[in-house]
Structure 1
Amino acid sequence: AVQHSFTFTASSSSFDEPSGSIRLQKKNHRNKIFGHRSSSKSSLKVSSALSRLPSFQDPGSAPVLSVHDKKSDSLQFSSQNQNAECEKQKEQMIRRDSETAASISAQESCEKWRLRGNQAYAKGDFLKAEDCYSLGVSCISRDEASRSCLRALMLCFSNRAATRMSLGRFREALDDCNRACALDPNFLKAQVRAASCYLALGEVENATMHFNKCLQRSGDISADKKLHIEASEGLEKAEKLAECMKLASELLGKGTSGSIDSAIGIISEGLIISSYSENLLRMKAEALFMLKKYEESIHLCERILGYAESNFPSSGSANLFNGPEEDNMFPSFGIWCLSLALKSYFYMGRLEEALIFLKNKEDSFSNIERRQNRNLESLIPLIGIIRELLHHKGAGNAAYKAGKNTEAVEHYTSAITCSVESRPFTAICFCNRAAAYRAMGQTLDAIADCSISIALDGNYYKAVSRRASLYEMIRDYEQAAADIRKFVSLIEKQEDRKMNQGDLHDAVDYTNELLQAQVRLAKMEEADMNEIPLNFYLI
Structure 2
Amino acid sequence: SGSYYNSSSSSSSGGSCGGGGGGGGCATSVSSPNTVMYPSGNICPSGKILKSNMGCRTSNRTDTLGSGTGNYGHGSIMRGGGGKLETNIQFAGESTMVKRAMSSSDPEEVKKAGNELYRRGHFVEALSLYDRAIALSPENASYRSNRAAALTMLGRLGEAVRECEDAERLDPGYGRAHQRLASLYLRLGQIENARRQLCFQGQQPDAAELQKLHSLEKHLKRCADARKIGDWKCALRECEAAMVAGAESSPQVIACKAEALLKLHQVEDADSILSNIPKLEPYPASCSQTKFFGMHSEAYV
For Structure 1 versus Structure 2, the TM-score category normalised by the shorter chain is 0.5 to 0.7
Residue pair 2:159, 2:281 contacting (<8 A) in 1 also: no
- Residue 236 and residue 201 in structure 1: after superposition, are their counterparts in 2 closer, same or farther (change >3 A)? same
Residue 209 of structure 1 aligns with which residue? Answer: 196
- Residue 285 and residue 311 in structure 1: after superposition, are their counterparts in 2 closer, same or farther (change >3 A)? farther
Aligned length: 194
Residue 281 of structure 2 aligns with which residue? Answer: 309
Q: Equivalent of 1:191, from 155, 178, 194?
A: 178
CA distance in 2, matches of 1:285, 1:185: 38
CA distance in 2, matches of 1:316, 1:209: 14
- Structure 1 residues 362-385: Cα deviation after superposition (integer angstroms, max 9, x where no partner): xxxxxxxxxxxxxxxxxxxxxxxx
Letter in 2 for 1:264: L
Aligned pairs for 1:155-170 within 5 A: 155-170=142-157
- Residue 316 and residue 194 in structure 1: after superposition, are their counterparts in 2 closer, same or farther (change >3 A)? closer
More strand by share: 2
Residue pair 1:201, 1:277 contacting (<8 A) in 2 also: yes
Once the two structures are TM-superposed, the CA of residue 310 in structure 1 deviates from its matched residue by 4.7
Residue 242 of structure 1 aligns with which residue? Answer: 217
Residue 135 of structure 2 aligns with which residue? Answer: 138
Higher RCO, Cα 8 Å, sep 6+: 2
Aligned residue for 1:287, secondary structure, equals helix
- Residue 295 and residue 167 in structure 1: after superposition, are their counterparts in 2 closer, same or farther (change >3 A)? same
Residue 173 of structure 1 aligns with which residue? Answer: 160
Q: Residue 261 in 1 paired to residue 233 in 2?
A: yes
Residue 274 of structure 1 aligns with which residue? Answer: 247
Aligned pairs for 1:41-440 within 5 A: 108-140=105-137, 150=139, 153-213=140-200, 216-218=201-203, 228=205, 231-255=206-230, 259-272=231-244, 273-304=246-277, 306-310=278-282, 332=298
- Residue 308 and residue 170 in structure 1: after superposition, are their counterparts in 2 closer, same or farther (change >3 A)? closer
Once the two structures are TM-superposed, the CA of residue 254 in structure 1 deviates from its matched residue by 2.5
Structure 1 residues 167-176 or 309-318, which shifts more?
Answer: 309-318
Aligned pairs for 1:510-525 within 5 A: none
CA distance in 2, matches of 1:125, 1:311: 26
Once the two structures are TM-superposed, the CA of residue 168 in structure 1 deviates from its matched residue by 2.4
Aligned residue for 2:173, secondary structure, equals coil
Residue pair 1:198, 1:206 contacting (<8 A) in 2 also: yes
List runs of 5+ in structure 2 lacking aligned partners: 1-102
- Structure 1 residues 256-292: Cα deviation after superposition (integer angstroms, max 9, x where no partner): xxx3122212111101211222331221111011112
* Residue identity (%): 27
Once the two structures are TM-superposed, the CA of residue 161 in structure 1 deviates from its matched residue by 1.0
CA distance in 1, matches of 2:282, 2:120: 24
Aligned residue for 1:128, secondary structure, equals helix
Residue pair 1:177, 1:190 contacting (<8 A) in 2 also: yes
Letter in 2 for 1:134: D
- Structure 1 residues 20-56: Cα deviation after superposition (integer angstroms, max 9, x where no partner): xxxxxxxxxxxxxxxxxxxxxxxxxxxxxxxxxxxxx
CA distance in 2, matches of 1:293, 1:136: 49
- Residue 131 and residue 207 in structure 1: after superposition, are their counterparts in 2 closer, same or farther (change >3 A)? same
- Residue 269 and residue 309 in structure 1: after superposition, are their counterparts in 2 closer, same or farther (change >3 A)? same
Residue pair 1:170, 1:310 contacting (<8 A) in 2 also: no
- Structure 1 residues 274-329: Cα deviation after superposition (integer angstroms, max 9, x where no partner): 1222331221111011112111111111111x5343556695999xxxxxx9xxxx
CA distance in 2, matches of 1:131, 1:249: 42
More helix by share: 1
Aligned pairs for 1:499-514 within 5 A: none
Cα RMSD between the aligned structures? Answer: 3.1
- Structure 1 residues 404-449: Cα deviation after superposition (integer angstroms, max 9, x where no partner): xxxxxxxxxxxxxxxxxxxxxxxxxxxxxxxxxxxxxxxxxxxxxx
Aligned residue for 1:245, secondary structure, equals helix
- Residue 236 and residue 276 in structure 1: after superposition, are their counterparts in 2 closer, same or farther (change >3 A)? same
List runs of 5+ in structure 1 lacking aligned partners: 1-105, 142-149, 220-227, 319-324, 338-539
- Residue 296 and residue 232 in structure 1: after superposition, are their counterparts in 2 closer, same or farther (change >3 A)? same
Residue pair 2:105, 2:136 contacting (<8 A) in 1 also: no
Q: TM-score, normalised by structure 1?
A: 0.33
Residue 350 of structure 1 aligns with which residue? Answer: none
Structure whose alpha-carbon radius of gyration is higher: 1
CA distance in 2, matches of 1:297, 1:154: 41
Residue pair 2:162, 2:284 contacting (<8 A) in 1 also: no
Residue pair 1:177, 1:193 contacting (<8 A) in 2 also: yes
CA distance in 1, matches of 2:198, 2:104: 31
